[in-house]
Every structure is written in structure tokens, then in C-alpha cells.
Chains A and B, each alone.
Chain A
């Protein structure tokens, strides 16, 4: 391996080593370092009045900081937060912040100014030593390891050593098992992703009020954000909503291309599609009523509602799942069944035969 340092080590004496420069070019006629330039004095080094002025500035800055702190404390009481009054929150925020900012900045500027203009301006030199230990130290370190090996028999008593390695290697696995109960013991993710609250006859209701929707209320160009009836009182409301949210649209007659298998999934030009993006799960809800395109605001996938939500742009691959709908005896929109495939992003266990 070209990175193995040891073979490139060329010891000169106990401390200094010359190392392989690789493909670096080392010239004999390179220019030489001219050494430190002459020291330039500051105004405050030569002019006592300037030094006194600088001193006054530093002192003043520290006092400004003091005033800033007092201002912040005063503001705490002078601009209290009054209940239901956001204006008071704004003032409280601004004035405490302003006081603290002045207190902090003034200390900082004062300290730096002090260091720059008044503290001794004498550059110092530290000598660097190679990072590695000298040859004797390195040899001693190697010797210590050898001694330890000899005294313990680490490389001699191979059975003991391998037994120890095996024991330690097995130890993390129980810890991995302990994490199993991070999630409920019952059920699998694939099962959970595969079903939603929608059942045959579940009414489509408005999000967030839960009012049922009459088919006649869905006029052309309308879009309704829909949740299943009963969701608002469901025990896992957010989890169910995350799968069951649906977008309901009515398109002009004739623009919908309906495949034979789905011919009774729409009701009179009213279609319902899952709102959960098939890419990574953002709610896809930007419906353009003239182009009939749905746009996801997170990663800009676009779906064409006239062609059963086929992807026309962006990182998504699969169309949005369609919810088959019809109306009940009272004219309210209801689901014909659950979705025929898992909604939302893809996952490993997702099968390929849902649409069949």
C-alpha cells in the first residue's frame, strides 16, 4: 500500500526524519525565506494620546455593555407580555434582544479592540516538532506491546483469544433485539400500509368539519378535501388520516379517460384520488382546474387527473391510487370499497399485482 509510512522513514538522528516527498519537486535554486520583516509600530505605540484615546474607547464600550444589560433587564419589566396581545410579545422580543445584543457586542468589540491596539504587539514564534514520537519512544511503545503480548499470551493462546473475540462480537445482538419493541408487537408495516379506513359505504366527508358531501354539490371545477366518515372520532385519527385523505374533483363531461376496469369508480365525472404522494408521501393537493393537473408542492411530481392520475412530471413513478365512489340513497357520496392498492410511498413488500 502506497500509504504505508514506515518504509519511507529515513532516520537521520534520534529526532529528525526526512520523509518521502512523493512527486513533489524540490529545487536546488529555490528562493530563500527572507526572514521576519521589520516590525511596524502602531499609532498607539508611538503616540501616547492615541493610546489614551483607545483606552477611553475600550472603557466606554464596556460601559455600553453594562447599559445594554440594564436595558435588557428593564425591558423584561417595561415591556411585559400581556395575555392575548401579540404586539406586546413583539416589543418584549425586540427590546430584550436589543439590550442583550448591545451588551454582548460591546464586550466583544471592547476586548478585541483592547487586544489590537493596547496589548503588547510582539509576535511570538513557536517551534514545531514532528507529530510522531522520536525513534526511542516509538521503539519503546512497540516493546511494551510485545511485552504485553508475551505476558498475556494473547497471540499464543489462540483459543482464548478467539473465544473472547466471539463473545464480544455476539454481545451487540441482544441490544438489537431489545429495539424490537420500539414498535407494537402486533402487526407488520406491510399490513398497516395496505389498508385504510375506507370501506364499502363509508361516506365521503369534508376535511376538517366531517360534513357529508352531496354529489350535486360537487360542481365542475370544484375540489373537495375529503376524509372518511367517522375519522374525527377514530382512536388513531392522525395515522388513519395520513392514509385515508382523499381529493375529490369533478371534471367536465368527456375529459375523463376511464379504463374498463374502473368504469364504475367515478360518479358522473366526480373522481376521488388518494392525496398521499406515491413518491415520499407529501399531500398532493395543488389541483389546477383548467389543466386537470395535480402538483405535489414538496418535490413537484405532477399527475394528470384526466388519465387516472398518471405521472406526467417529477420524481414519482406510480399514479395516485383511485378510490372507487358512488352515491347512497340520500345522494351523498360514498366509497365503493377501500383503495385497491396501498396508498403512499413504495415499500419493499409492496406487490406488483394490485391493479390486476
Chain B
């Protein structure tokens, strides 16, 4: 390090010196620096630039909701008892008084009804958990549709994806802790699913639940995962995720002055620190408002878990909905009862396809999402670094694939509330399920084509605007009697946003050195054509000149 030596020989008792070198702030920072060497970090990162766009804040929403979850969760652990020992409820809630329930349920009710502010913290914790997963989802959609997963960020996409899975696991383990009727039936469903796995299913369930369902172990075990293992993993992955964000520097949208080799925005100190710091309080405030005014998970209404009752409208929290929906859409008999059974016995062992198929389909979907950056890189063969985020319309192939994926997920998600859709829209539950079964296959295809056409149309519109200007809405009559609408030209800054994008052409396959075309290249050519066959080129300077001469 090449720091001036006089700074290091600073004597805090010398008043003249203190004035010279920055007063108390200077002294304090030197005190810390001499023991930590932190000045290097401040120098490197204190004025680091962060670009401004609303969609760049979504990841922060996820981070902040996790902080809220940690704070409120810690408070809850002080009162919660993760035990399934049977106790008799004697708290404030009348309709449960004198009933036998687990200590977990009793302490969750105690937090809700006897601890001042306890219900608030519980509700804030649960709302923040829903927000955590939702904001991760929205953040992932932003990354996907703007291509911010391209090199060098493919690995960070994977890390973020693991965080999404971990967040769902956190959510599910937490949802199950109060041992109420709703979560108990959720566990019952999970246990039933696990049982259906070939070879090991029944043993896994047996081990996880410590014997027969529900047993007396599961709440304690989920609690350990929920407050120890999973949060530690989430924290580790968040740290890794952020290290990569710093290493790569943030992406930015195309704009005047913005290139692949720079970042334009505001420095962390002071503007971004104030904005991002303030934003934490805003997110916390919004969640606090929800906790104060909107009931979430009223376990007192559900009552303690009992294997006999179940409530109409038994659903998991939203982020598990797609899995529940998959279970609901899978028919037990293909082609109706009497058709092909989706469960059969061979040599005294049972194959439960009605469970395996949904699990495998979801697994495949998840793997494709996780691997997408690598798939796209393989298709384009593009090895360059990309730091300019795409406008979704400028990559019609990717945007259409994304829309198809979102639609697939949305159909599964809707299926998890098929009964509520039926009652609220006056439909029969059978028709809702049948429609969703067909939609699961048809709607993504439709979404693909519609999205692709919309993207291409928007790109064409952009070209029109660049070449001929905006429609101003002003109608002018020419001397010859002709009416025309005046087009206002776009300025060069606005124009740059419309013309600066990557475009790819379909792969032309050529024989390799050995004179052969490998199968992988053929496959790549097919996918590449599918992706890039329909494309709109950005306006070139030649075209612009021609247009101006008209």
C-alpha cells in the first residue's frame, strides 16, 4: 500500500494535526483503518457506480425481505416451542380452550394472543416470507427477459436459482411449524408424495417423520432446518451472489453514453447508500402495514392438526402452489376412469405414475430454467461478455420462450386454486380442471407465438420511429390538398435506445475439419433457426440516411 506515512503516525492528542486531517471523522476512520485496512475497501467501493432503473431494485426487495425475516424470526424463536408434546390449551382464544394440541401450536397461539406485538411480528414474518419468494421470482423474470444472465453472469444465475429453491424450502418448513390443521394436511400430502417414490419412498418418509405419520418428531426436525441449516445456506448463497454482483458490476440498459465497457449511474456514497438504505425501510414499512391490517395464516381458525378433518380450500402458500397444481392436473386414469391407470403393480411392487409424472415434469422444468443461460449460450455461440441488458422485444425468441415458461407455471399455479376458481366464477370443478389440463400444453404454445409476434411488431414500430419519427397527431393540409400527419423526428439520444441491440442470425452449419457435421451442430442449427429465423435488424446509418433523403 502506498499511503502517505504521516497519516499513519497521526497523534490524536495534537489539536493542530486534527484540524489538518479531517477532524473526528478523519480520526475515527484512521483508527478503524489501522486495525482493519478498510480504507482499501472504501476507496474501491465507496464511489462505485450503480445504474438507476426500477427493475434493478427487485433483488434488493428480496434481500431486504430476508433481513426482515431474520429480525422477526429471531423474535419468534424466543417464544416458539418446536415440540409435538401434547398439552391442553388454556389461552385467550375461546373456541380452542381445553383442547389437546401440540406445544408448537400452543406456543404459536401464545405468541399470537398473549405476547404484546407477537401477532404483529408473526404476521410480518409470514408476509415477508411470501414477499421474499415473490420478489425473487420477479427478480428472476427481470434477469431472464433482459438477458442479464449472459456471460459472465451464468453462474450467478445458477446461484440465484439455488436461492429461489432454498427460499421455497424455508417457506415450506416455516409454514409447517405451527402444527395447525392446514399445515398438517400439507405435510400429509408431502408424506404421501414421498411414499410414492420407487424403492426408497416409504423408507424416506419413515425416516423423515421418525416412524408413522405424523409422529412426534417432524416439527422439531423442520425447525432445525428452518432456523439453522436453511438460513445459513441462504446467507452463504446471498454472500456469493453479491460478491459476483460486485465482481461483474451491474448491467445497464442501452442508452446514450452507455457502452459494454462502462457503467453510468450514481455513486454508492452518498446517493445509492441513501436510496438503497431508505428502500430497506420502505420495504419494511410496507410489510409492517400488511402485518398490521391483514390477517395471514389464522392458525386459530384452522385448529390443531388432527388426521381426520380437513378444510375446503386446503392450499399451500403461493410458491408451492405450482407443485400442488401439478398433482391436481395429473389424471389418475388417462382417458377417464376405465382408461389407462397411472398406478399399477408389477411383481408386488407399486408404480405410482400419478405422483412420479408431476414430480418429474416439475423437475425437468426446474432444470431447464436453471440451465437456460448455458442453453442460450450454446445456441448463439456468443463468447463475448454482455453488460448491456436487452429490451425484451429485441430478443423475440428468448422472450417468447420465457412467456411460454411463465404461462406453463401460471397454469400449474392456477390449478392449485381450481376449487376457488370454480366457486368464484360459478364453474364446475371438473371443467376447470379439464380446461387447465389442456391449457398446460396449449397455452404455452399460444403464448410463445403471440409473444414472438408482439415482439417483432414492437421492433418494427421502433424501426418506423427511427426512420420516420413519431406520429405527432398533427394533421397538415398540403398546398395540393393532400392531408398528411406530421412526424416528429426522434433525437439522437432517443434513437440510440432504439437501435443499439444485439441481433443474431440462424446458424449456418459447415462441415468440421474432418469433413463431417456432428449431430450436436445439426441440433444447434435447428434450435438456432427456431430462435432467430424471424428477426428485425436494427436501423443502420445507411438506412437512416436514405430515409432522411425522402
Residue ranges of A at the interface with B (Cβ–Cβ < 8 Å): 2-3, 5, 8, 19-25, 27, 29-37, 76, 80-81, 83-86, 89, 92-94, 96-98, 100-112, 114-116, 119-120, 123-128, 130-131, 179-180, 182-184, 187-190, 192-193, 207-208, 225, 227, 236, 238-239, 241-243, 245, 275-277, 279-283, 285-286, 297-301, 310-318, 344-353
Contacts and interface: CB of A to CB of B under 8 A. Distances in A.
Contacts of A8: 383
12 contacts: A22-B380, A25-B503, A25-B504, A109-B282, A111-B278, A124-B264, A127-B262, A130-B385, A183-B211, A347-B201, A347-B350, A353-B348
Interface in B268-324: 270-272, 274-275, 277-286, 288-289, 291-293, 305-314, 324
B380 to A, nearest CB: 4
A193 B202 contact: yes
Given A81-B115, A281-B188, 17 more contacts: A2-B378, A20-B381, A31-B538, A81-B113, A81-B114, A84-B92, A89-B92, A97-B291, A100-B285, A107-B281, A108-B284, A119-B270, A189-B195, A242-B188, A314-B433, A317-B333, A348-B202
B202 A347 contact: yes
A294 B515 CA distance: 66
A288 B48 CA distance: 66
B540 interface: yes
B470 interface: no
Interface stretch (B23-31, B212-220, B361-369): B212-220
A84 B329 CA distance: 44
B246 to A, nearest CB: 11
Contacts of B193: 280, 345
B14 to A, nearest CB: 33
A301 to B, nearest CB: 7
Interface residues of B, number: 149
Interface stretch (B2-10, B398-406, B474-482, B491-499): B491-499
B106 to A, nearest CB: 15
A104 B288 contact: yes
B192 interface: yes
Given A108-B282, A312-B337, A344-B192, A23 B505 contact: yes
Contacts of A184: 210-211
Given A19-B383, A101-B289, A3 B374 contact: yes
The list of the 10 closest CB pairs from A to B, nearest first, reads A97-B292, A111-B278, A22-B381, A352-B345, A280-B192, A108-B281, A105-B285, A108-B282, A242-B307, A104-B285
A97 to B, nearest CB: 2
A188 B520 CA distance: 48
Interface in B182-209: 185, 188-189, 191-193, 195-203, 205-209
B541 A123 contact: no
A81 B116 contact: yes
A27 B430 CA distance: 56
Contact of B419 (A189, A227, A275, A300): A300
B542 interface: yes
B172 to A, nearest CB: 15
Given A123-B264, A189-B205, A131 B385 contact: yes
Contacts of B281: 104-105, 107-108, 111
Contact of B280 (A108, A131, A282, A318): A108
Contact of A283 (B310, B328, B430): B310
Contact of B206 (A112, A131, A183, A285): A183
Contact of A299 (B285, B327, B346): B327
B540 A128 contact: no
A25 B278 contact: no
Contacts of B114: 81, 83
B332 interface: yes
